[in-house]
Amino acid sequence: MTASIPRPGKIIAIHLSYASRADQRGRRPAFPSYFFKPTSSVAASGGTVERPAGTELLAFEGEIALVIGTAARRVSLADAWSHVGWVTASNDLGLYDLRANDKGSNVRSKGGDGYTPLGPEYIDASAVDPAALRVRAWVNGELRQDDTTAGLIFPLAQLVADLSQHFTLEPGDVILTGTPAGSSVIVPGDVVEVEVDAPTAHGAPSSGALVTTVTQGDVPFDAEIGSLPAVDDLQRTEAWGSREAAGLPPVAEEPQNAASTPSDAAPSGSSGSGAGLSPELRAKLLEAPTAGLSAQLRKRGHHSCFVDGVAANIAGTKIVGTAKTLRFVPFREDLFKSHGGGYNAQKRAFDAVDEGEIIVIEARGDATTGTLGDILALRARARGAAGVVTDGGVRDFDAVAEIGLPVFSQGAHPSVLGRKHVPWDVDVTISCGGATVQPGDIIVGDGDGVIVIPPSLVEEVVDDALAQEIEDAWIAEQVAAGHPVDGLFPLNAEWRAKYEAATSRA
């Protein structure tokens, strides 16, 4: 071991790497993704870390830190570990109050002074098996994290090899390899200890206890020069580790989410479970009205995003999810004989829908026949579907509403399958209410109707829609105060200056 490691030239941290943490967050990445931390965030064992004034969500993350011993550039997976000089403990502290403002870069939320304690001892990397390291963390003497590198999604050597594809890893550079489940919020007075060891190696080498004490800051952030801390229930949930730990009610108890799925957690880019919708993105979409989202789509040249002619079967319903498509073709006797009976496309769609998905049905805008009934609604509800959108009718309309499955349709119709439609195909590009819908498209529906958002645009569209909602609320206040709308809606230069001055002081 050695305690004389040079100050790192750069610190690279990974977002998600342990299976336990990924399962807790409800999304498992296909490949590692990273962010940088400033070297000014490095601190020694025995130091303090300040929770800034006006914040509540400072969280600890016990991690294994790799210190590069020899330069690595485009090294192979097999050779990568030989470029690691030492292994030690780290506490990748983060301030969730600034996380949303950073939009994934973590510059401020993870870059504060003292936010990267390292040490105190450094283990010779050549003397340990990278697949047999352990990281543990305690808060006030209580064990909070305990996991090994056997639980990693990405082996440690892969991180070194991957990063070396993009830039040279230099001696002294530090790679923070992610935290397992158990990370949570700490408050002033708490003492956090992190230890990394190799219990099966000769001599069971250890980093020793990396000790950090939390203090309370008294200098608030300046609203005149930068964005202020802001938290919501999503940030509280992820900072504490769960809604229960954060003191929040279960999602099912919240009226806003009554029409959402039992699980908001979805592996990004995977099939099922609301594929492509992280809990954070889902929460934003639940907050943003379809009117605001459609306005942002129109600004980007998307004018055919509306599923026309449909309304909700449950008043006040808000649905958010990814599309699972079902296509009906016009009735033809021979085709219905070959495709209408047995385990047809309609049954397959309702049997295979996953949590967070919305079944979107092409019925060619024909409201004179049903496209689902109470039995299929029960199946979709049991599977955790977020809802159904159909440009046709719904059989057993009242019963479907009682089941609690949100359905946007053209209304009730008592007919059974075989009057106007043949169930033809699942998971194909369809037309519903005049909108083209592909599997995996983002579907949002509320009292104003249903819209379709391309996945590649959803992040920027929802962020801009929420920002516009804040601006519109301020404009409404001015109108309510007696100001004329001319120049105010939309804001001219004079009113824009007043708005920015008002919001910067908020």
The whole-angstrom separation of Cα 35 and Cα 14 is 6
Contacts of 207 by beta carbon, 8 Å cutoff, 6+ apart = 87, 88, 89, 119, 120, 121, 122, 123, 194, 195, 196, 197
The whole-angstrom separation of Cα 293 and Cα 127 is 55
Average pLDDT value for the chain: 87
**Torsion angle, alpha carbons of 86, 91, 96, 97, to 10:** -120
- State whether the Cα torsion 275-280-281-283 is positive or negative: positive
Regarding the domain delimited by 279-458, which CATH topology (the fold level of the hierarchy) does it fall under? Answer: Glucose Oxidase; domain 1 (3.50.30)
For the stretch 36-63, pLDDT in tens is 999 999 999 999 999 998 889 999 999 9
Task: Give the pLDDT confidence score for residue 415 in this predicted structure.
Answer: 85
Task: Say if residue 473's pLDDT is above 80.
Answer: yes
Q: pTM of the predicted model, to two decimals?
A: 0.53
Q: How many residues does the chain have?
A: 506
- Of 427, 354, 428, 419, nearest in space to 392 by CA: 419
Please report which confidence band the pLDDT of residue 258 belongs to, taking 50, 70 and 90 as the band edges: very low
Bigger pLDDT: 443 vs 248 = 443
Listed in order, the ranges of the chain carrying CATH 3.50.30.40 are: 279-458
Q: Helices 458-480 & 279-287, crossing angle to 10 degrees?
A: 30
Residue 300 is classified by DSSP as T
> Scanning the structure block, which residue is given the tokens 């202020």?
228
Task: Say if residue 99's pLDDT is above 90.
Answer: no
11-234 — its CATH code? 3.90.850.10
Please report which confidence band the pLDDT of residue 506 belongs to, taking 50, 70 and 90 as the band edges: low
The whole-angstrom separation of Cα 123 and Cα 208 is 10
Beta bridge partners of 18: 152
Contacts of 216 by beta carbon, 8 Å cutoff, 6+ apart = 50, 51, 53, 188
Listed in order, the ranges of the chain carrying CATH 3.90.850.10 are: 11-234
Q: What is the mean pLDDT of residues 180-206?
A: 95
Task: Give the pLDDT confidence score for residue 487 in this predicted structure.
Answer: 81
Task: Give the pLDDT confidence score for residue 270 in this predicted structure.
Answer: 33
Sequence-ordered alpha helix ranges (H) in 324-403: 333-339, 345-352, 374-383, 397-403
Task: Say if residue 352's pLDDT is above 50.
Answer: yes
Neighbouring C-beta atoms of residue 373, cutoff 10 Å = 18
> Scanning the structure block, which residue is given the tokens 């158990």?
182
Contacts of 441 by beta carbon, 8 Å cutoff, 6+ apart = 322, 323, 452, 453, 454, 455
**And the tokens for 263?**
């699980």
> Scanning the structure block, which residue is given the tokens 């790192």?
8
For the stretch 269-309, pLDDT in tens is 333 334 458 888 999 999 999 999 999 999 898 888 999 99
| E strand or H helix at 295 | helix 290-299
3-state secondary structure of 360: strand
Whole-Å CA distances, 437 to 425, 428, 450? 14, 9, 12
What residue type is 462 in one-letter code?
V
